[in-house]
Amino acid sequence: MIDAAGEWSLDRAPRMGAALAYYTTFAMVPLLLIAIAITGMVFGREASEGMILDHVSQLIGAQSTAAIKDMLRRADQPSSGILSTILSVGALLVGASGLFGELQDSLNTIWRIPPKEGGGLWGLIRDRFFSFLTVIGSGFLLLVSLILSVAVAALGKWFGHLLPFPEFLLETFNLLLSFSVITFLFALIFKILPDTTLAWRDVWLGAMISAGLFSIGKFAIGMYIGKTEVGSAYGAAGSLVIVLVWVYYSAQILLYGVELTKVYACKSGRYQIAKPGSGRGYATRYFPRRSSLSSSRAKSS
C-alpha cells in the first residue's frame, strides 16, 4: 500500500482527479437521467427519481441535491421538434462520453500505456463507445444493488416481526450486499477500461480496498460537508462546489485502487511489456527505481 501511495503521487493522481471532477459536472445530469430512465421501467418515473435522489442526498446533502434535481427538471423538459430532440440527446451523450474518455485516459496513464497510433475518428468513436458501454453496465449493476437494498429494507420494515432472525441481520446482509456490488464495479472498471491485459485475480485486491475506502468515505465526506459548510463561502455556486469535492474524493479512491492493482500485478510478475504500435498492449514501465518491484520484473523475464 505504501508503494501504491508513492505511485499515486508520482503519476500526479490529484491532477487526474481534478480533471475527472471537471468532466463529471457535465456528465452528471446525463448519467442520472439514464439511471432514472432504467429504474423507471420498474418503479415508475417519480418513484425512481425520488429513490436515486435520496441516495444522492445522503452523499452530498439536501441543498446540493435540490440543485441537481432542478438541473434534471430543466434537462428533461420536452424539446420542440425532432431536430431539437436529436441535438439534446446528442449533447447529453457527448457530455457523458467525455467523462468515460477521461477515465480511460487516466487509467492508461497509470499503466504507462502509450496512445494508440492511427485509428482516426472512427477509432476514437469505437473506443469511447466501448468505454461508455462498460460504465453503463457498471451503472446498471449499481442500480440492481439499489433495488435489492430497497427490497431488503422494505422486508425488514414490513415483515420484521415475522422473521425468524433478528432484524439487524438483514441490515448486515444489506451492507455486505452493497459492499460486494461496489467491489465488483471497481474490479470491472480496473479490468476492462485500461488498454492492457490484466488477470481478474490481480484486480480484486485493489477493488476491495477501494470499495472499503469508498464506503468509509461516504460517511466521512458527508460529515465534512455538514460540519464545515464548505459550500457556504461560494454563494450560489456552493452546491456545485460540494459536488466537486465529493467527486474529487471518489476519484482519488478509484485512482489509488488502480495504483494498488498495478503494484500488486507487478509484484506478482503477471505482466508483459507492450511493443510500440501493438494496439491493445500491456504496461510499458516497471518501477526500476524500487528494488522490490525490480526483482519481480527480473523473475518475470
The 10s digit of each residue's pLDDT in 217-229 is 777 776 766 666 6
Please give the pLDDT value at position 255: 92
Please give the pLDDT value at position 154: 62
Its pTM stands at 0.74
Most confident of 64-73, 79-88, 192-201, 248-257: 248-257
Give per-residue burial for 235-272: e unless 16+ CB within 10 Å, then b.
Answer: eeebbbbbbbbbbbbbbbbbbbbbbbbbbbbbbeeebe
* Total domain count, the chain: 1
Identify the CA nearest to 157 among candidates 173, 171, 177.
Answer: 171
Please give the pLDDT value at position 25: 79
Measured distance between the N- and C-terminal CA atoms of the chain, rounded to whole angstroms: 24
Proportion of the chain above pLDDT 90, given as a percent: 5
Please give the pLDDT value at position 256: 93
Interacting residues of 283 by C-beta distance below 8 A, sequence separation 6+: 111, 112, 113, 196, 262, 265, 266, 271, 273, 274
> What are phi and psi for residue 111, nearest 5 degrees?
-85, 5
**Structural domain containing residue 59:** 2-300
Express each pLDDT in 210-265 by its tens digit: 888 888 877 777 676 666 666 566 666 677 777 888 888 888 999 999 999 888 88
